[in-house]
Structure 1
């Protein structure tokens, strides 16, 4: 408050006093006095606190003086809560003045709601010093409980008085412990004497317990004695009493000499033997001891380069000589299967040439892919013999028929009254973007799994390759030999006479798939040779039919994938009918004409009515499935058509080969190239637009769409979100011009203008359709 303001306050006080001493007419009431004081506080002319009863005012300076007086009267320590009833002032006011006091008086401290001065702290430190001198050491943690002060605050006060009031030292490794010089000297001598008498590794907990040494001081003294070379020893296991071990150098030297000599003579170190020598963590000891020596650390031991080089040489010899080697017998007896496996993997990892050709069998056997492949010729005579046998006996033809029947049955419901519901459910799933109908709907993508004992890094066969497996095909497939039968044949071979059973069974499992494939191929060739011997021309015609039917079925399946891109159910139905009317009719015509030739029927006319007449003239075993296929052709369900096609193909003895993914991709690429050629050759604007949208649809969806020209508007609507804005507008413009050309036949002038504009747009449409890439499907301005 400024001096001028204070003078005015004094004048007002004097006037106030005179008013009080004047006659009754001039005296101020208590209410007036309160109002005057309140006005002065409001004008910030005075700064006071109310008492808790509201009858008195007290200034800030007076409150500070009274707080300091009470602190002195209470021996230099008093809590703020105790001052509230004593001073009759609120806790908030006392707390605010306490903060001002500690800022102006550095000898006063506010700790956990208490005011404490340095005099009180000095007395506490004197008591602590007395305790320290009596016991030799103290812990700040225990003192905090005794004096009810925070540990950090008390530690700071003690540390500032060490050397003055407190005569002692702070532990370097534990800042909460203090001790006297005499205590340190006594225990240093005790620890030095105890350690000097130890000649074998001894746990620290045993040393402390037997000699009753202070735990807090032990490690600090031991470190000092070791660093000053007073004690020739070392500590292992860290600074934990229950883990740490004291190891004299005399023992370490003899121990290290034994370990070094053993490693030099034998080339390995067993962890169990090192544990018996007293090493708590033998692997960590070896890493530290031999950090400059290249060692391979295994699960039960560590091994040097000499043994690794011997094993690597044995593996190289086995691979180069197209034989095999069992690694475990070449290793010392302390090595187990896991150690042998780790050694093999390490050698192959560091030798890329070996890794490329090596094949690890089990955990400890190594051979090469060439060795496995060289075993296949052993079975060639057996494959030829059995293939001829199954073809001659009719088992091969029966197996093919069983496969077709199994597939057909797996897709036909047992109850006829559920057929429509299931078809409707599949149709809804197809429209919702799930797996398409037809053959795709009943094929499952599976990954072949290896036997649990196939642990080789490089397999002789591509067992992990994806395959499309039809339902029921595996169960009816002819088997060449079981794995056990293959194993029995291998055991009779001289090169495998000493091989363990696990090794032979693993080789047999690796050969099984390849031999089975070779057997199936041999049976197929034998069957085709049989057909060729009976009717060479018939076989050729049959093979050509198979190829044409296979291509048509593939086109139908690809067309079904394409039409499923449309969300409109009506558009899908129209596209399905168009697909069946074109590709489906062609497939039915191929089958009907093929079987009709055998029945000496005229196949010149293949219109729907003529086709029905041809079917009616066929034998009963052919007439029924072909009538079902002909009827499905008139519907709008691709899956039903494909199911009927399965039955018809089985009846006509048409065996389809497994779909080759590479050929399928090549077929899709070929169809794209055909569209590009058609687009280049097209002159008519409507045809150019039609082929261009089909080509763009293929680029966007990677599927082929079988659609006539009347579906062009729907296809353009589908493509618009996937095309750049300029391309979409170009297609829409040409579409509008084509429509305008059709509607303006009578107006020659307008027709000429429209055709002129179309001629200018056709090259741009061709270029946009051919050069469009899938990566650019995001619309751009």
Structure 2
């Protein structure tokens, strides 16, 4: 090593490189060889020389740089100083690139061009601007494309022509033409155009104006328009939505309904709704009559009350929590000597309580949302509008229009039901007032009849009186009780019909009524099982008080008129009667009324006793005729062998019986 240093000091033209001693003559020879290689190949790289000479790249770079233009005749690449080339090589390369690019008519990847001309990528990009006026590059990066000018011109012409003819450009079409950054391209190509960007294409102002004109016509004609059929088929639903957002004014938005690609005037929608008017009215009426509307209102009211209770509970919990905090923070008065007071923790209770209240609130909200009475069903709406839509060939809109109209028509039905209910309540109030007056008059008349019938009953023997009183209680008095119970049931919105109940069932029904009705009505119903008309008259008067009804005072003049009318009614029925048994019954009652000037309420089984009583008022002939007729009736009703004979005799005697009753006058005093 010491010897090597001496040699290097003594010989300045000798260098030590990687364990080798290299003199100046060797370096000159290497420079000459490099130049010879450069002239042969047209270009060399320091990397290739390093492999060939087995010398460091920096050393070889110094040799070439020192001898460049002297021994080595070439140029250094500006982009890569480790590469050198000759002028002739550059000229040949430019010629190859120019020839390759001149023959291209459509976009081509740079990689394909490089493979054909055998030029590296860096040199291609460095020489491109010097060699080509036939096109442009999309970038100077790997994967770039070469776009020939002839293709760009035809591309621009196609875009301009298509846009002018159709008023739109589809993004997919631009991509197929090789235009990836379509926004920048369109800005450069269509400089002075008013453009609107959609999801799949770009449109001109003219298309927007055309859509606006279609909408104006739709509103003016109170009809509809299908934008999909009036716009290019490449427009999708999103495009149409964006066009409508750009085209519609605030005033137009209030006059139309947009469903899919259809623009429908609200006048047309109202026409469809009007076709459902009869359905809505009929359903609203049926809803009120069935009681569903009333139940719905009760449910709403109950839900509202529950919500209020939840709010109140929440307030109570909040106040309790506030008191607890105050108690916890103010455990003692002033100073440090105060004695602490333990406060029971309510934290857990409050947490649970608040949770329950919150859950209840949520449940109530859900119930209120769900609690919408369906006056009109969606299927009914669909069936009503279907014929009109079929006429217009709008079958596709049946479901969406049904969905649109259903809630509105149901709301309209609820409003109609509310109006009907209010009117019904008003009518019921008026009818109830009228019914109250009519029933009061009817009950006064019936009770007056009972009083007059009782008066007639008292003329008969005691044993017969008892039977007639029981019959009067079970018949006419029971009718009066039924009228009273039916009235109260109606007032209490109960569906009970007293006629269908026996006395025990009536008592059970009465016991379930409010106390104001219960006490007097219990006594009234029990009086029907008694044996006193006086008890009945007392209890019925008390029972009418909570019904706001009063009994009229006794008017003897009217009593005489009632008795006279009763007699005429009996005679009228008798004259029309062909039933031989009933004729005897009617004749007996008519004669009794004429003879005593009193009314009598009796059944057929009491005829024998009444005839026995009337003998004192009859002539012997009249008494015999009536007795004989009575015997034949008894014979006929017995069902024996003499039935037919008895019927014949009765038919013969019927005119005689009618004559006796019609011509009878009180003659007992003349006997």
TM-score after normalising by structure 1: 0.40
Structure with larger Rg: 2
TM-score after normalising by structure 2: 0.46
The structure carrying a bigger helix percent of its residues is 2
